[in-house]
Structure 1
């Protein structure tokens, strides 16, 4: 079964990204197409890029980079759960992407975004050129969530509606297709 890593791109205390990611992760597990793992950038806690060598060389000197490399390398696909800050993506997400190079190549990525009225779509459009420069394949199918705070119940969990669930399923189905299609380029199989 292919491995899907759900990356939580917000590191801010009190972030809504955590309940959004929990909801999406549960939905991805129910989908059944992937072995699902969560990567929380707040827990990863990477310093600003501190490697002396270009990431494409994979000559990492720091243990945090070696660990991050192994984590990203193990994935066949990604979903990034990302907020929109000032019409853009988060600095921790850009930093985490910049640490690595080859580990991202030929892997599909779905984007679950959240924010105000735009649902994070401006951040999504901003991150796509970066993802493609790393040879990732960002899906057309994404899940923008407008005013995500309104979806929190009293327990602090996301109460998704049918449209969100259907969109998440559509994205996961497409992610699974692309994961299989790109596997030969990665030199792997997904069976």
Structure 2
């Protein structure tokens, strides 16, 4: 867990890049922790980087109805999660595909926050059947664009996920997956450096200030 004193934005260019890996499914017996641990390990192997896993199942976020009234305190799980999201310079969202889209747990966490996402890159690792969850990724790209995020072109997809990992949590097609993953991480971290530098130099314009 990152100390509270470090959960501020944005970090100076000399500090490690901060990437939060979000496990998007909260279902019982979900598969999401397997690819999340794997991509977190790939991130940890990169120098000058700190990675933290954010498991939405640990928070039990309430549904977003009409939002909070101005000045009303946020629900405790929302406030706690918001601190972790604010800490991050970038996100990797690990998502399944449910009925040709992404899970409701991800929509809930997206809608509770705003500035925590703004002007940051968001990459995707997805898993599913024949398509590897690409429908979930494409829908998420459009939703996150509302927050002026950047989504690298590359994503890491795992078709037929039940066959994609061995018992040790490593991709079976290691060589092919490794090549795609390195490009994915290169693109994500390029945007992470560029956007953190930009946020340090100048706050992102608020609505009405463009």
Q: Secondary structure at the match of 2:101?
A: coil
User: 1:33 deviation in Å?
Assistant: 4.5
CA shift digits 1:118-172 (9 cap, x unpaired): 11111111111110001111111111111111023345x2334111112111111
Which one of 41, 61, 64 corresponds to residue 46 of structure 1?
Answer: 61
C-alpha change, 1:76 and 1:59, in structure 2 (3 Å) is farther
For structure 1, the 5+ residue unaligned runs are none
Which one of 167, 171, 190 corresponds to residue 159 of structure 1?
Answer: 171
Q: Is the 8 A contact 1:115 1:146 kept in 2?
A: yes
Q: Residues of 1 paired with 2:178 and 2:72: CA distance? A: 41
Name the stretch that deviates more: 145-154 or 128-137: 145-154
Q: Secondary structure at the match of 1:175?
A: helix
C-alpha change, 1:186 and 1:86, in structure 2 (3 Å) is same
**Where do residues 103-122 of structure 1 align in structure 2 (5 Å cutoff)?**
103-122=116-135
Q: Is the 8 A contact 1:77 1:109 kept in 2?
A: yes
Q: CA RMSD in A?
A: 2.0
* Greater Rg over alpha carbons, structure: 2
TM-score (norm 2): 0.81
Which one of 75, 81, 84 corresponds to residue 71 of structure 1?
Answer: 84
Structure whose residues are more often helix by fraction: 1
User: 1:114 deviation in Å?
Assistant: 0.7
Match of 1:21 in 2: 36
CA shift digits 1:45-86 (9 cap, x unpaired): 212126414xxx796432222212111110000000000011
User: 1:97 deviation in Å?
Assistant: 0.7
Q: Secondary structure at the match of 1:103?
A: coil
**Where do residues 130-169 of structure 1 align in structure 2 (5 Å cutoff)?**
130-155=143-168, 157-160=169-172, 161-169=174-182
Q: Residues of 2 paired with 1:87 and 1:110: CA distance? A: 19
For structure 2, the 5+ residue unaligned runs are 1-15, 203-210
